Structure formats: structure tokens, C-alpha cells
Amino acid sequence: MTYDLVVIGDVNPDVVVGPVTGLAFGQREQLVDHGRLVLGGSAAIMACGAARLGLRVAFAGRVGDDAAGVFVRGELAERGVDVSRLTVDPGLPTPLTTILTTADGDRAVLTAPGCLTATGPWDVPADLLAATRHVHAASFFLMPRLAEGLAALFDRARAHGATTSLDTNDDPATRWDHALLDPVLKATDVLLPNAAEALALSGESRVADAALALARYGPTVVVKDGARGAHAQHGDEALRAAAVPVEPLDAVGAGDSFDAGFVAARLRGLDLRASLAMAAACGSLSTRAHGGTAAQPTWDEAWAVTDLKGTR
């Protein structure tokens, strides 16, 4: 079996509740308008978005031998992602995340990491790296054992002719450890942070400067900038793409859908400008429904809301 994409990283149930106007402790019960149990994890949402765009996708990571693990495996498989190589941990639980949303689009994310702490390079079968066109990793700072071995994994994938991408996501410890990250960046073709992450990783105060600084490590840097669209830096070339106007219901997972759009576009042979526009469309359209996967677009749906012309 060959794949277009192997995704490495986190998968967990998300309990999304809100909008929250404030938290009252002291055993006070508060009512909110919405509560949903949905598939979560940056890597998992990206994998589902890529499958929705027509890619053959396999997932590598770790879940617990519990009801939450059964739930996420089923959700991934239902969306066309191959989970046959997803490791089941016999002792540690599946991660769990609660997301508290606000009316203005902000959110707080509470995660019990469970088996993320045990996820490592050993959960990525060597034959997967040899049988794919692209490898994407996410949630770098949540899985320190995997992070330590990710540069070597990316090097092996590239030796087989694959390209690589990384979305670090947030660092809960706020260390943004470059001693850990720098070797990975040298083996990464595309780095996909959001604006806050790019600023934290680079130490810069402007997105354009952050992208330029991070690009000096080697990768093409694509920064997700919310309603302001996206910024890409490839060597000395800088590009921007506007967000697609939508009435957003939930921005959870929008960045992961953006990642899926960018990778899918590149694998179809689109240039940087067109890939950036497709990624912005995928990220914007994913906010039309609650949860990270419910409104992920097909290729044709995303293409239709861009001003792109030419090869599809």
C-alpha cells in the first residue's frame, strides 16, 4: 500500500463547550449554549482534512486501550484515514481535551496528555516512511520522545523521496526549545505555525519578520494569521493570501485544515501562491460548523472560493 500522506502526532476526543463568559469555581454549575464530543488533536484533524481533499492518508501515533481510543479510531477511519498502524498503548489512557470557547472566537484548551508522553519514533513503522509522498507531524511540544527522534524520521522519509512538514502547535511550557527543534527544522520542507507560534519561535514582533527569521533554518515558512489570511516565506520570496469571508461558528481546528489544504495543493503540483490560497480557503471554510472536521471542504469546494486559475 502506498500513501500520499502519513501524519504523525496526536489524536484525542475534544469536548467543546461554550460560549463561556467566565469561570466560577466553588462547585458552581454554569450553563452554556453548546457542548459537543468531537474528534480532536492537531494531527488527527489535519489527516481528516487531507483525506477529505482526496489524499490517501495513513495515521501514526498512539491511543489508549479504552473507550476514548475506540472513539477516535472510529472517527478517523470513518473519514477515510488508515488507522491500521495506530499503536494501542496497553497501560496509558488516550489523551483528553476540553475546549472552552468564548463569543468573540477565543478559546482555552485543557489537555490531559495520557499516552502522548509515551509516543515516540517507535510508533512510526519504517515501511510507512518508505511508502508515502509526504510526512506531516504536529503537536511537537506535546510529545517530547517523538520530538527527540523526529529529525531522524524526517531524514529517513526524505531519503525515500518524501517531502516533510511540521506544525509545532503551542508549547504549554512556553520554552519553545530550539535545542530540540532546530535539528528538525533542518529536515523540514514546510513549517506551518500560526502567528502567535511564529512570533514565539522566532522572538520577532511582526509576522513577516518571524517568517523570514524561521525560513533561515531552511524550510518554507507558512504562517496562519487568522482573519488576516496567511503569509509565506520561501527563501527571499514573500507572499500573502487573504482569508475567505465566512460566517464562522467555530475556529477549532481551522489551522489544521489549513495545513491539509497546503499539503494537498503542493502534492498536486500547485505553486506556492496557489497552495497558499487553497490553504487559506480550507482553513476559512472549516469554521462553518462546530468541531474541527464537520465543515472541512472537498477540493472542489475549496477551489471554488478562490480566484485561482489553471491546473487543478
In this predicted structure, the answer to whether residue 309 has a pLDDT above a threshold of 70 is no
- Beta bridge pairs of residue 57: 5, 81
Domain that residue 256 falls in = 3-17+35-304
Mean pLDDT confidence for 94-107 = 89
Residue 191, domain member (yes or no): yes
Distance CA 300, CA 268 (A): 13
Residue 26, domain member (yes or no): no
Residue 30, domain member (yes or no): no
The residue to which cell 517507535 is assigned: 122
- Provide the CB-side half-sphere exposure for 143 (13 A, CA): 30
pTM of the model: 0.95
C-alpha closest to that of 198 among 223, 176, 180:
223
In this predicted structure, the answer to whether residue 310 has a pLDDT above a threshold of 90 is no
In this predicted structure, the answer to whether residue 217 has a pLDDT above a threshold of 80 is yes
Residue 71, domain member (yes or no): yes
Distance CA 159, CA 156 (A): 5
Distance CA 131, CA 6 (A): 9
Residue 297, domain member (yes or no): yes
pLDDT mean across residues, the chain: 95
User: Which ranges of 160-292 does DSSP label H, i.e. alpha helix?
Assistant: 178-185, 195-202, 207-215, 254-267, 272-285
Residue 27, domain member (yes or no): no
CATH of the domain at 126: 3.40.1190.20
Residue 137, domain member (yes or no): yes
Residue 112, domain member (yes or no): yes
Number of domains in the chain: 1
Q: Find the range with the poorest average confidence among 91-100, 244-253, 256-265.
A: 244-253
> Which tens digit of pLDDT belongs to each residue from 128-158?
999 999 999 999 999 999 999 999 999 999 9
Q: Find the range with the poorest average confidence among 58-72, 96-110, 222-236.
A: 96-110
What burial class does residue 309 get, using C-beta atoms within 10 Å of its C-beta: 0-12 exposed, 13-18 middle, 19+ buried? exposed
